Structure 1
Amino acid sequence: MYLQISDLKKELILKKGILHFDFTASALALKCVEKEISKILPTYANTHSDSSLNSFKTQQIYEQARKDIKKSLSLDENFALIACGTGSSSAIKKFQELIGIYIPPLVKERYFTQIDKNTLPLVIVGPYEHHSNELSFREGLCECIRIPLDKNGEIGFDFLEKTLQKNKKRKIIASFSLASNVTGILSDYKRISEMVRKF
């Protein structure tokens, strides 16, 4: 179901007389979404099991949702979709664990205080990252550089290219948000991907 912005107000679940202004972190529930969830709940089961029909059915719904998300974002097999039940913070932590950057803060404090930054991977983040993306990389086993906005208020592609060129002998990881959850500005992720892959 696709909704126009004007239709969202009718779908909000909110007690009469209460005003809600914080949509940047957690939006209000929508009737149409809750209705779809209520259809799934009677047969909802573990997606990591095939021991029951309900598990199989839930796995099918989950896999279809993954396909739909990738299709809606025009993502091919070169892109990974990391689904985590506790939001983007959990997905970013999982990604960092997979690429060997996340370590518990006390371990880093005990054993990794005297590392030459130039021997670590370089992580490049965009100008409007979710705090869990940028902050957790800054605390990881890597150097983290934030790409600033250009004079038009968009990603500074000139700065990005210079940063990539300067660090081309290092392992480079780019972690950009597709969109700002504050302004709604969309990133040109295809251009970012093409630039990073050149180096």
Structure 2
Amino acid sequence: MSCQVAVLYYSRHGSTLAIARQIARGVESIPDCEALLRTVDEIDARADHQDPIMTLEELKQCDGLAMGSPVWFGNMAAPLKHFWDKTTPLWLSGDLIDKPACVFTSSSSLHGGQETTLQTMMLPLLHHGMMILGIPYSEPKLHSTTSGGTPYGASAVAAGNGKLTQDEIELAQQLGKRLAMTALKMKGI
């Protein structure tokens, strides 16, 4: 029996995708855990999807969820919000209740709205009854990072090239590990 953790993201310029991949590495570093890397449809059809589009059935079946978006004026990006607006059937049936979840983001500057964006992504997850995980201060990099990383979730300051700092990589991987270990515990493995 294995544990499948969905890593759902929207990324226009590659930084949020880079974090998603590091979270997936963290998930897959835990025995019996598999990361399912998925994205959402672009509303204006400009996206070049590198990963499959998440389906509601995949979301329903996952054992845990990491969700990421770039900062758009302190909020999650519209395509990700649009995806969640279509999850009412899962909300009505309670399919996501008690599943662990975490959030991640990237912005073009350190003070670009990372923490408010992370909080806006938590809202639909809380409405679905999911259990939100952050990064605890026991993670040493959280004390020393000068780029991304918050107790609310993994984050990065986009350098325009999709590359992350070592601190951002380590914090994202640790968040993925924490999510996977929690999903395993909740599943009883």
TM-score, with structure 1 as normaliser: 0.30
Larger radius of gyration: 1
Higher share in strand = 2
TM-score, with structure 2 as normaliser: 0.31
